[in-house]
C-alpha cells in the first residue's frame, strides 16, 4: 500500500473542495477576521461611556438640581432628556431612546432636610447588561454622594463638627480599588479575550462538521474513502489538514491584531499564546469530529456543533462567572475546548504567571483529538453504507 500516494490524493481532494466552494474561505477566513476587527474596533476606546439616560424631576428644588448636575457630570452616563412624567420616560425606554432613567420624587428636599429618608427610584433596561451596569453605578454613586453632601452640610450648619471631622464620620475608611490585570477597566481586555476565540472556535467546529457532513449528504462519501485508499485516517487527515493550516494562520493573524495592533495585554512570551492557537484549532476539530462520529448525519452533526458552540459563550464562563452559575452547567462548559484556551489567555496573556501553572490547560487541549479515535469505525461504516436522512 503506497500510503504517501493515498495521503497526497486525499489532501489534494480536500484542497479542491476548498477552492470550489466559496463558503469555505468565507467562513474560514473572511468571517473570523471581520468579526475580530469589528469587536476590536468597537471596544478600542476601552470602557463604555456616555450611556443615554433620562431624568424625571418632580421636586425641582436645589437638592434635586444638584443631583441632576452631578449625574450629568458622571462620565459613564449622559442625560439625554428630561421627562415630566414617569409614563413618558418609560415610553422612551421602550422605544430605545434611552436605556433607563432616575426618578426624583416630590418634596425631595423637604423630606431630606427633615430626616424622612425620601426614596429615589432607578428604572434600568437590563436587556443590555453593560449599559445597565454603568447606569446603576452612576445612579447609585450620585445618590449616595448627594446624601453625603446633604448630611455634611447639615452637620456643619448646626456646628456639631468641623469639615474634617464630618468627612471622617461619613467615610471612616477610605478604599483604593486596583484592577489586577485590567487597571484601566477596559472592556476589550476581558470581553474580546473570550469572545473572539469563542467565535473562532464556533467557525472551526461548524466547518469541520460541514465538510464531513456534505460527503454524507451528497453521497460522495464512498469516493472520499476510496481516494484515501479506504483508510479513514488518511481520509480525515486529507480533509482536515488544510483546514488546520488555514485556521491556524487566521488565528495567528487575529492574535497579531489583538496583542500588537490593538494593544491587548500580553504579559508572557509571545510563543505561549502562539502555540496555544494551533492546539485550539486541532482541539475544536477533534471535538467536532467526535460529534460527527456520534451522529454521522449532516443536519444532526452541524446542529450539535452550532448549538454547543453558541451556548459555550454562556456556560464556559464568558458572559457569567462560573461561580455564579449552576455547578452542572459549569461542568458542561468544561467539555468545550475554548474554555481551556480562555484560561490559558487569562493566566499567560493577562496575568503573566509561570507557564508551569498553565500546563494542565495545554494538556486538556491535547485530549480532544483523541476523543474520536474509538468511533472512527462508526463514521467509516456510515460512509461506506450511507443512509439518506432528510
Looking only at the bridges linking them, the beta strands covering 100-104 and 121-124 are antiparallel
State how far the Cα of 69 lies from the Cα of 172, in Å rounded to an integer: 26
**What's the order of all strands across the beta sheet hosting 77-82?**
77-82, 51-57, 100-104, 121-124
pLDDT bin (cut points 50, 70, 90) of residue 166 is: very low
In terms of residue numbers, what domain contains 59?
Answer: 51-170
Query: Would you call 328 helix, strand, or coil by DSSP?
Result: helix
Reported pTM: 0.75
Question: Exposure of 129 by Cβ count < 10 A (0-12 exposed, 13-18 middle, 19+ buried)?
Answer: exposed
Residues 302 and 210 sit within 8 Å (Cβ to Cβ):
yes
Q: Is 178 contained in some domain? A: no
- Asked whether residue 175 is domain-assigned, the answer is no
Last residue of a domain, one of 146, 170, 194: 170
Q: Please, what's the b/e burial string for 44-53 (b: 16 or more CB within 10 A of its CB; e: otherwise)?
A: eeeeeeebbb
- Decide if 33 is inside a domain: yes
pLDDT digits (tens, 9 = 90+) for 68-95: 787 777 777 788 888 988 899 999 888 8
- Is 60 exceeded by the pLDDT of residue 63? yes
Mean pLDDT over 266-271 rounds to 94
144: CATH: 3.40.1710.10
Which of the four pLDDT bands, split at 50, 70 and 90, describes residue 280?
A: very high
CB 247 within 8 A of CB 200: yes
Return the pLDDT at 48. 64
Higher pLDDT, 180 or 302: 302
- pLDDT band for 390, please (50, 70, 90 cuts): low
Instruction: Determine how many CB atoms are found less than 10 A away from the CB of residue 132.
Output: 17
Closest CA to 380 of 206, 182, 230: 230
Lowest mean pLDDT segment, chosen from 97-101, 165-169, 333-337: 165-169
Q: What is the pLDDT of residues 48-60, one digit of tens each?
A: 667 888 888 888 8
pLDDT digits (tens, 9 = 90+) for 215-246: 888 888 888 888 888 888 888 988 899 999 99
Q: Are residues 205 and 349 in the same domain?
A: yes
- Give the residue from 136, 170, 204 where a domain finishes: 170
Amino acid at each position: 500500500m503506497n500510503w504517501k500516494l493515498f495521503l497526497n490524493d486525499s489532501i489534494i481532494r480536500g484542497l479542491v473542495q476548498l477552492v470550489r466552494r466559496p463558503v469555505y474561505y468565507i467562513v474560514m477566513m473572511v468571517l473570523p477576521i471581520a468579526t475580530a476587527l469589528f469587536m476590536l474596533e468597537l471596544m478600542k476606546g476601552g470602557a463604555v461611556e456616555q450611556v443615554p439616560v433620562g431624568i424625571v424631576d418632580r421636586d425641582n428644588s436645589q437638592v434635586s438640581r444638584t443631583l441632576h448636575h452631578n449625574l450629568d457630570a458622571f462620565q459613564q452616563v449622559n442625560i439625554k432628556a428630561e421627562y415630566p412624567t414617569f409614563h413618558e420616560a418609560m415610553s422612551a425606554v421602550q422605544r430605545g431612546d434611552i436605556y433607563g432613567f432616575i426618578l426624583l420624587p416630590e418634596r425631595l428636599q423637604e423630606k431630606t432636610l427633615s430626616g424622612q429618608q425620601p426614596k429615589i427610584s432607578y428604572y434600568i433596561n437590563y436587556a443590555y447588561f453593560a449599559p445597565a451596569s454603568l447606569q446603576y453605578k452612576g445612579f447609585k454613586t450620585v445618590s449616595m454622594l448627594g446624601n453625603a453632601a446633604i448630611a455634611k452640610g447639615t452637620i456643619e450648619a448646626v456646628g456639631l463638627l468641623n469639615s474634617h471631622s464630618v468627612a471622617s464620620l461619613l467615610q471612616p475608611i477610605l478604599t483604593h480599588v486596583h484592577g489586577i490585570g485590567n487597571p484601566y477597566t477596559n472592556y476589550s481586555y476581558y470581553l474580546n479575550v473570550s469572545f473572539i476565540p469563542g467565535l473562532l472556535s464556533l467557525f472551526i467546529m461548524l466547518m469541520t462538521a460541514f465538510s464531513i457532513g456534505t460527503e454524507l449528504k451528497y453521497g460522495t462519501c464512498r469516493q472520499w474513502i476510496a481516494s484515501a485508499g479506504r483508510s479513514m485516517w488518511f481520509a480525515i487527515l486529507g480533509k482536515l489538514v488544510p483546514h488546520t493550516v488555514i485556521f491556524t494562520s487566521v488565528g495567528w493573524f487575529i492574535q497579531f491584531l489583538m496583542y500588537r495592533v490593538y494593544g491587548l495585554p500580553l504579559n508572557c512570551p509571545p510563543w505561549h499564546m502562539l502555540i496555544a492557537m494551533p492546539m485550539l484549532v486541532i482541539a475544536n476539530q477533534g471535538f467536532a469530529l467526535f460529534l460527527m462520529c456520534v451522529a454521522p448525519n449532516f443536519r444532526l452533526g452541524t446542529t450539535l456543533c452550532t448549538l454547543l458552540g453558541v451556548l459555550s459563550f454562556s456556560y464556559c464562563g464568558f458572559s457569567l462567572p462560573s461561580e455564579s452559575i449552576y455547578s452542572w452547567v459549569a461542568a458542561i462548559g468544561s467539555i468545550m475546548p475554548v474554555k481551556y484556551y480562555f484560561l490559558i489567555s487569562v493566566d499567560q496573556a493577562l496575568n503573566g504567571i509561570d507557564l508551569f501553572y498553565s500546563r494542565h490547560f495545554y494538556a486538556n487541549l491535547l485530549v480532544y483529538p483523541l476523543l474520536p479515535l474509538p468511533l472512527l469505525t462508526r463514521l467509516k461504516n456510515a460512509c461506506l453504507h450511507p443512509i439518506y436522512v432528510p
